[in-house]
Amino acid sequence: MSLPARLTRAALLSAAALLPIPLAAQSGADVAQAYRRAHEAEIVRDFAELLTYPNRASDTEDITRNALYIRDLLREAGAESELLTIDGVAPLVYGQLNVPGATRTLGIYVHYDGQPVDPRNWTHPPFEPTLYSASMEAGGEPIPMPVPGEAVDPEWRVYARSAGDDKAPISAVVTVLHAFREGGVTPTSNLVFFFDGEEEAGSRNLGRYMEMRADKLDEVDIWLFCDGPAHQSGRPQLTFGVRGAMGMEVTVYGATRNLHSGHYGNWAPDTGSILAHLLATMKDADGNVVVEGWYDTAEPIGEEEQAALESIPDVDPLLREELGLAWTEGQPETIAERLLLPALNIRGLTSGNTGALARNVIPNTAVAALGIRLVKGNDPAHLRQLVVNHIERQGFHVVSEDPDQETRLRYPRIAKVTGGGGYPAARTEMADPFVQQVIGAASRAADRAFGPGSLVLAPGMGGTLPLYLFTDVADKPAIVVPVANHDNNQHAPDENLRIANLWYAIDLYAALLTMPPGVS
Amino acid sequence: MSLPARLTRAALLSAAALLPIPLAAQSGADVAQAYRRAHEAEIVRDFAELLTYPNRASDTEDITRNALYIRDLLREAGAESELLTIDGVAPLVYGQLNVPGATRTLGIYVHYDGQPVDPRNWTHPPFEPTLYSASMEAGGEPIPMPVPGEAVDPEWRVYARSAGDDKAPISAVVTVLHAFREGGVTPTSNLVFFFDGEEEAGSRNLGRYMEMRADKLDEVDIWLFCDGPAHQSGRPQLTFGVRGAMGMEVTVYGATRNLHSGHYGNWAPDTGSILAHLLATMKDADGNVVVEGWYDTAEPIGEEEQAALESIPDVDPLLREELGLAWTEGQPETIAERLLLPALNIRGLTSGNTGALARNVIPNTAVAALGIRLVKGNDPAHLRQLVVNHIERQGFHVVSEDPDQETRLRYPRIAKVTGGGGYPAARTEMADPFVQQVIGAASRAADRAFGPGSLVLAPGMGGTLPLYLFTDVADKPAIVVPVANHDNNQHAPDENLRIANLWYAIDLYAALLTMPPGVS
């Protein structure tokens, strides 16, 4: 859709390059803001174009097309860029921008893949970006993409998979590079771009990709993990830790085939009921996990993090109102407190059919997908084993493949447990001097975009990034630098980005790329 | 597929009609068997053609095409036939065959609609009948349809929706009428055909259709309900009662939208867990329903039924072996005993996704479809209320529509309960003289097809038919006369009919249509 827009901008840029530079000395932030104001429609259209690329990590063809497009965006913006590849998996988009005289190197991590989509649940096709006058919940209506020169309302939203998670930082940083080139601003740090194509699939090859550029990555002083949403208060945030994540699946078995519920009902094992009995033992009525040992290995937070935690706005009443909740798990503990504990959720249930497809059968299996979030101190394999132990204590024979006839005839209760793996949590010390510089730059951008004092410092966020590869394996400080609105529906249908948050992202990268020269 | 076969048979019939009838006096059963042996391939092909008609009751176009085809089958076989219609619902195929001098009228009820299909779960498209050399479980392979004259193996199976439930009786009775016409046999009863197009959708209009032919239906002395499978021992059966059926659906609520399991996990309500806690309270670990009052209204069986019950083969060990079960609900009670109690099963669970589509969300709803089977004495509305009461006792606010924001913010636990209705159970006295005649005829057919003494007399079967409309509303005796193999996968993917059971059906109708003159 935005090919003409892109050509137009390229033409503008060429024209600008031919002109003398008449600008008085301006801050990088001012230059970026002025550039943004002059090109709002084009920036929105370019962002929408980026969102047209289907980006499920496991579809190697799709994800490679996506990677090549992003590589070219970086090149057009003046950076060196190439794909790092491993056979059969999503490529990594590597880029660098070396700044003569710079004494610091910033690593910028973004992921360009997205969660799987079930298009039946979306209002619009997930890879046909649709602009709305406001969020759907607020009564927004679809509107046409703006044409160059047209005013852009910051409350507009772009609906598409990966609008919020996680393509906005790519558009923002590329825009800032264009703005700086046009405005004659030089970044104060060398830049390394590391754009992951497998984050939603567990970043299984990120470590190997890091090894391919080990020398260059060694030069990085601090990693900016550009992912995640703003604080639920709507205020921007920096986060110094993430939870780990792990998916598991539990299948319980009835007869070898679906049975007619009339001819066998009251006699054949009722798989849904068996699964319900099992799942009900995993959490108590307050939502606390009662799997033995579940909370034992969670590291307590330190005094600094405790202080930051106490200064976080109390968003619980707001969130409960927004989400229509009269009750939350572990209440009266707040969400900020609850995110510092490992979570166990049922992310999916499948057995037979409900609704119009419901049939009079006793389904022969019932399946629960478990979503687990780990905190600092938790080992994924250990938590997995705790779940397996728990299932066995409920009287189940645990298997890893569908049971054969002999196994079925031997054990009254059988549960197949699959999945696991995933990755651990991570935390970075807030006292680190590079961390302090980033806090300073982000504060300035947040002040500009959302008002003075708006930046929230969160010791830990609930979501998951492969941060441990940088903090624990490569031993570098790493900060999570989110830009998306908190109600972006990430991982869900009708994912979206609020335009105001795209403008904030541009302010933020402008500030980060022009931080005063570093400490090293 | 079988148009040429049908033409061939029509040609044969015409040719036969022109010949003198050289047959010695044969029994109707002998004539039907000889006819079947001479036309096995054609009968299988005609049956397969009948199965090509998609037959979900709610698809009025499809189901009407089906009804017209069946009406024409009856006409071709020498019966009068027409469609009874009510706007917007499936037609009823009505037919009659008046036999001069007959002193008895048999009502033949069959349903020609089928359960909904989810083709993704079928090995072959459900309306493209596929012949197998044996059941899939026994290693059968797809084979071509036989050509006229080719031998047909009784172990072959036809796979298609409604192969077992419930189109085989239609093919069988039409075949017998052709055989009798060709062989010069006159039925000993008047016949009334009442072919329901809405049985799988609850036979909601059957009562109204019955009123449309009230005068003729008053003449019926006994109804033969041709539906259901053979006894699990593989032996044919007659059944003198059925359970009623009712579907309900329970939806529990979390936030107003799906939430990211990282950013909200451990705080937002976990709908799968809430549903599991609720469902786990409905049945105990032995599979007994613990909803208060659940078993209170079930009528105890009488002495005659008790005697029949005791003579039923004990198929539990066989069934457990076949179905891979080390445990059954309510054990050590047998399946025959358990079918005389009301059942509560979870026929579907839906929340988020499992498997490859599983995403890191906390689903905003979790849904359970409940399948309920009623026995004599149970009132559907009463059992529904017991379930609602139970849910309320677990602390839920029960609603009938999705809750609005005010309701959400007021009640920590909300459950939407929908569905209900369905129909009650029914039973017919085994001592009735017409019933005794049918038992005699069916015994003879069973002896012929499966060996002496093979017929099982079951006081109650687990499945559901709208039998109460005949037994309780119209006050006629009604017997369930099943023909399908017990492992026909009815209501499930890969539904099938074993050819031997089609042959039995032909023997059965031949015997029923030539019962010695009646008692009235």
CB–CB of A431/A210 below 8 Å? Answer: no
Q: Can you read off the two tokens belonging to residue B312?
A: 């039923």
CA atoms within 13 A on the CB side of A155: 9
Domains of chain B (ranges plus CATH)? 3-242+425-513 (3.40.630.10), 244-308+337-422 (3.30.70.360)
Report CA-CA distances (Å) from A464 to A346, A371, A480, B260, B507.
Answer: 17, 12, 10, 10, 67
pLDDT of residue B50: 98
Residues of B with Cβ-Cβ distance to A490 under 8 angstroms: 260
- The span from the first CA to the last CA of chain B, in angstroms, equals 45
Which of A 51-70 lie inside 8 A of B, CB atoms? none
Single out the residue of B226, B217, B239 nearest to residue B474, CA to CA. B217
Cβ pair A369:B362 closer than 8 A: no
What's the rounded Cα separation, in Å, for the pair B112 and B129? 16
Least reliable range by pLDDT among B159-163, B328-332, B353-357: B353-357
Cβ pair B118:A353 closer than 8 A: yes
b/e B79-105 (16+ beta carbons within 10 angstroms → b) = bebebbbeeebbbbbbbbbeeeebebb
pLDDT of residue A518: 53
pLDDT bucket at B518, cuts 50 / 70 / 90: low
Single out the residue of B385, B417, B387 nearest to residue B399, CA to CA. B417
Cβ pair B272:A263 closer than 8 A: no
Q: What percent of chain B has pLDDT over 70?
A: 95
Cβ pair A347:B359 closer than 8 A: yes
What's the rounded Cα separation, in Å, for the pair A220 and A238? 19
Q: Can you read off the two tokens belonging to residue A208?
A: 């190997």
Greatest extent of chain A over all pairs of C-alpha atoms, in Å? 87
Cβ pair B283:A264 closer than 8 A: no
b/e B3-19 (16+ beta carbons within 10 angstroms → b) = eebeebbeebeeeeeee
Query: What distance in Å separates residue A319's CA from the closest CA in chain B?
Result: 10
| Full pLDDT tens readout for chain A, 520 residues | 333 344 344 444 443 444 433 344 478 999 999 999 999 999 999 999 999 999 999 999 999 999 999 999 999 999 999 999 999 999 999 999 999 999 899 999 999 999 999 999 999 999 999 999 999 999 999 999 999 999 999 999 999 999 999 999 999 999 999 999 999 999 999 999 999 999 999 899 999 999 999 999 999 999 999 998 898 788 999 999 889 999 999 999 999 999 999 989 999 999 999 999 999 999 999 999 999 999 999 988 877 778 888 888 899 999 999 999 999 999 999 998 899 899 999 999 999 999 988 888 999 999 999 999 999 899 999 999 999 999 999 999 999 999 999 999 999 999 999 999 888 999 888 888 899 899 999 999 999 999 999 999 988 888 888 888 999 888 999 999 999 998 999 889 999 999 999 999 999 999 999 998 754 3
pLDDT of residue B430: 84
Q: Is the minimum CB–CB distance between B489 and chain A shorter than 8 Å?
A: yes
Q: What is the dihedral of CA B395, B397, B398, B400, to 10 degrees?
A: -160
CB pairs under 8 A between A and B: 377
What's the rounded Cα separation, in Å, for the pair A200 and B130? 42
CA atoms within 13 A on the CB side of B229: 26
Interface test with chain B among A360, A397, A423, by most B beta carbons within 10 Å: A360
CB–CB of A208/A197 below 8 Å? Answer: no
What's the rounded Cα separation, in Å, for the pair B318 and B315? 5
What's the rounded Cα separation, in Å, for the pair A96 and A119? 36
Single-letter code of the amino acid located at B241: G
What's the rounded Cα separation, in Å, for the pair B373 and B360? 37
Q: Can you read off the two tokens belonging to residue B429?
A: 């006295």
What's the rounded Cα separation, in Å, for the pair A32 and A506? 7
List, in sequence order, every residue forming a beta bridge with B246; answer none if it has no partner.
B372
Q: Can you read off the two tokens belonging to residue A418?
A: 């699959």
Q: CB-based contacts of A159: which residues, under 8 Å, 6+ apart? A: A123, A124, A129, A130, A131, A132, A136, A494, A495, A496
pLDDT of residue B15: 39
Q: Can you read off the two tokens belonging to residue B251?
A: 């939806």
Interface test with chain A among B278, B346, B402, B423, by most A beta carbons within 10 Å: B346
Of A232, A360, A463, the CB nearest to B491: A360
The alpha carbon dihedral of A347, A115, B258, A340 has a sign of positive
CB–CB of B312/A230 below 8 Å? Answer: no
Give the residue ranges of DSSP H helices in A168-270. Answer: 168-183, 206-212, 214-218, 261-264
C-alpha angle A502-A508-A511 in degrees, rounded to nearest 5: 150
Cβ pair A261:B413 closer than 8 A: no
Q: CB-based contacts of A502: which residues, under 8 Å, 6+ apart? A: A43, A44, A47, A168, A171, A172, A483
Residues of A with Cβ-Cβ distance to B326 under 8 angstroms: 408-412
What's the rounded Cα separation, in Å, for the pair A228 and A238? 10
Which of B 152-181 lie inside 8 A of A, CB atoms? none
Q: What is the dihedral of CA B162, B165, B170, B173, to 10 degrees?
A: 140
Model confidence, pTM:
0.74
pLDDT of residue A145: 97
pLDDT of residue A135: 97
Which of A 359-388 lie inside 8 A of B, CB atoms? 359-363, 366-369, 371, 373
Give the residue ranges of DSSP H helices in A244-349. Answer: 261-264, 271-280, 303-311, 316-323, 335-338
Single-letter code of the amino acid located at B366: A
- Residue B147: phi and psi, rounded to 5, are -95, 155
Q: CB-based contacts of A77: which residues, under 8 Å, 6+ apart? A: A174, A177, A178, A181
Tell me the ipTM for this assembly: 0.75
- Residue A468: phi and psi, rounded to 5, are -60, -30
* Size of chain B, expressed as the number of residues it contains: 520
Residues of A with Cβ-Cβ distance to B241 under 8 angstroms: none
Interface test with chain B among A261, A374, A465, by most B beta carbons within 10 Å: A261
CB–CB of B251/B366 below 8 Å? Answer: yes
CB–CB of B352/B272 below 8 Å? Answer: yes
Of A254, A361, A369, the CB nearest to B354: A369
Q: Is the minimum CB–CB distance between B21 and chain A shorter than 8 Å?
A: no
Single out the residue of A278, A103, A105, B281 nearest to residue A95, CA to CA. A105
Which of A 382-421 lie inside 8 A of B, CB atoms? 403, 405, 408-413
pLDDT tens-digit profile of B268-288? 999 999 999 999 999 999 999
Query: What distance in Å separates residue A248's CA from the closest CA in chain B?
Result: 10
What's the rounded Cα separation, in Å, for the pair A357 and A177? 53
Single out the residue of B427, B380, B507, B501 nearest to residue B47, CA to CA. B501
The DSSP call for residue B517 is: P
Residue B255 has pLDDT above 50, yes or no: yes
Which of B 277-296 lie inside 8 A of A, CB atoms? 277-280, 282-283, 285, 287
CB–CB of A500/A153 below 8 Å? Answer: no
Residues of A with Cβ-Cβ distance to B163 under 8 angstroms: none
What's the rounded Cα separation, in Å, for the pair A312 and A340? 14
Strand runs labelled E in B61-117: 80-84, 92-97, 105-111
Residue B20 has pLDDT above 70, yes or no: no
Q: Is the minimum CB–CB distance between A489 and chain B shorter than 8 Å?
A: yes
Q: Is the minimum CB–CB distance between B347 and chain A shorter than 8 Å?
A: yes
Rounded to the nearest 10 degrees, what angle do helices A28-38 and A433-450 cross at? 40
Q: Which residue has the tokens 């199976």?
A: B157
Cβ pair B354:A359 closer than 8 A: no
What's the rounded Cα separation, in Å, for the pair B208 and B205? 5
What's the rounded Cα separation, in Å, for the pair A293 and A282? 12
CA atoms within 13 A on the CB side of B380: 19
Cβ pair A338:B279 closer than 8 A: no
Query: What distance in Å separates residue B439's CA from the closest CA in chain A?
Result: 22
For every residue of B289-338, DSSP letters joined together read: B-STTTTTTPPPP-HHHHHHHHHS---HHHHHHHHT-S--TTTTS-HHHH
Strand runs labelled E in A144-243: 157-159, 190-196, 222-225, 237-239, 241-242
pLDDT of residue B22: 39
What's the rounded Cα separation, in Å, for the pair B371 and B420? 10
- Judged on CB neighbours under 10 Å (0-12, 13-18, 19+), A304 is middle
Q: What is the CA B4 to chain-centroid distance, rounded?
A: 31
Residue B53 has pLDDT above 70, yes or no: yes
pLDDT of residue A8: 42
Of A137, A245, A347, the CB nearest to B362: A347
Residue B431 has pLDDT above 90, yes or no: no
List, in sequence order, every residue forming a beta bridge with A244; answer none if it has no partner.
A374
Single out the residue of B290, B246, B283, B253 nearest to residue B415, CA to CA. B253
Cβ pair A350:B345 closer than 8 A: no
Of B255, B263, B346, the CB nearest to A351: B346
To the nearest whole number, what is the mean pLDDT of chain B? 91
